[in-house]
Amino acid sequence: MATIGIDARLWGTKHTGIGRYTQKLIENLRGLDIENEYVIFCRSENIKNIETSPGWKKVVADIPHYSLGEQTSLVQIFLKENLDLLHVPHFNVPVFYPKAFCITIHDILWHSKKGFDVTTLPPIKYLAKYAGYRLVVKSAASRAKAIFVPSKSVANEVEKRFPDVKQKVYVTYEGVDALSRGGKKDDRNYLLYVGNLYPHKNVETLVHALSRYHVLEHGNKLIVVSRKTAFLGKFRKFIKTKNAKKFVELKTNVDDKELGSLYKNAKAFIFPTLSEGFGLPGLEAMSASTPVVCSDIPVLREVYGNAPLYFDPKDPQDIADKIQKVLSNKVVRINLIKAGKIQVKKFSWKKMAQETLSVYREVLKG
């Protein structure tokens, strides 16, 4: 029997993809592993939300991520529990944590997308944060006993940046929840985007395509579901400047029930992203029987297969044409919905947890 710690400070959908991954990993491990003990390090606000079983323990760790405390105080919190293995489901392992650990790298976007246009921070603060990021990621990748990634595309990127880690990289595809269960079908006509508003998400290009090529009929909308970040304010200014407020509706703090209804009733889910680690929102849309129109990039080809209609994310004309095709051609819509329902069956949070547990056991054997 071993003691395994999981850093769950980014637990829950408040922390978007990483948060959902962390939550689903913990929830599924509880039903799979009856031989090891677990310590879940979480924020006090989530202490009641995280269910435990016999042999499972919760420890409050109110240390902000990417902070100085993460590199100092958090180390002592981890060490106090005398762990045999620690899993940090992100790259932010304290540089001075001396014991065995594994990490999950969801993407290495900051390695390929850098510069002052990808941040809202002042230049000096951004440069300091970027330097710290590079140091922490390099340290984590080199010292980790195992590195989990959500796709082969990310595995290839990690191995390209850190050639020495190839033998310890494991692809564990994420799962998808049926968020659309229940709720009423309504008659609104809208397109849906779900995700952050960072520049690489390319949502401004989507808005430009809809506006310039008149894809939406009078009264129809693009609903954008995102969380509150500095980039949300920047996007608000953009749609105001482009006179797009008449057809773009922003929603924040959306819970799973509302999100399920939005997926279920959308005419199509549009995903114009330039870079992803996995692309969970598209699978959630497919599970809700909503056709997906998305960027033709390697990771989405890998995860979505032939289920969506693909477009060139840098070509507003192509984006508009493909969306119009889905909206106007009933046969295309039906075929995309059928293909999506088949594609989502390939992914399971339970399977992801089983594969993760298998790696834990391998690492613990030494």
pLDDT in tens, 311-337: 999 999 999 999 999 999 999 999 999
* Residues 255-260, mean pLDDT to the nearest whole number: 90
> Domain 3-175+348-365 sits in which CATH superfamily?
Glycogen Phosphorylase B; (3.40.50.2000)
* Residues 94-99, mean pLDDT to the nearest whole number: 95
DSSP annotation string for 246-274: TTEEEE-S--HHHHHHHHHH-SEEEE--S
| Residue 187, helix vs strand vs coil | coil
CA gap 63, 73 in Å, rounded: 8
pLDDT over 70 (residue 137): yes
pLDDT digits (tens, 9 = 90+) for 44-59: 999 999 998 899 999 9
pLDDT for residue 366: 81
* Residues 75-99, mean pLDDT to the nearest whole number: 96
CA gap 216, 47 in Å, rounded: 44
* pLDDT tier, 135 (very low <50, low <70, confident <90, very high otherwise): confident
pLDDT digits (tens, 9 = 90+) for 220-241: 899 999 988 888 999 999 999 9
Percentage of residues of the chain with pLDDT beyond 70: 91
What ranges do the domains of the chain cover?
A: 3-175+348-365, 190-344
pLDDT for residue 219: 75
Can you list the positions of beta strands (E) in 76-218? 85-88, 101-104, 146-149, 169-171, 190-194
pLDDT over 60 (residue 180): no
Domain pair 3-175+348-365 / 190-344, same fold: yes
CA gap 307, 286 in Å, rounded: 8
> Domain 190-344 sits in which CATH superfamily?
Glycogen Phosphorylase B; (3.40.50.2000)
Q: Are 274 and 297 in contact (CB under 8 A)?
A: yes
Spell out the residues 6+ positions from residue 181 whose beta carbon is closer than 8 angstroms to its own.
Answer: 260
pLDDT for residue 228: 84
Mean of per-residue pLDDT scores for the chain: 91
* Gyration radius (Cα) of the chain, Å: 21
Q: What are phi and psi of 59, to 5 degrees?
A: -125, 125
Residue with token string 């420890």: 59
Taking phi first (over 0 means left), then psi (-120 to 50 degrees means alpha), and beta for anything else, what does residue 40 get?
Answer: beta
Q: Are 86 and 5 in contact (CB under 8 A)?
A: yes
295 forms bridges with which residues in the sheet? 311
pLDDT over 60 (residue 117): no
pLDDT for residue 363: 97
Q: Tell me, yes or no, if the pTM score tops 0.85.
A: yes
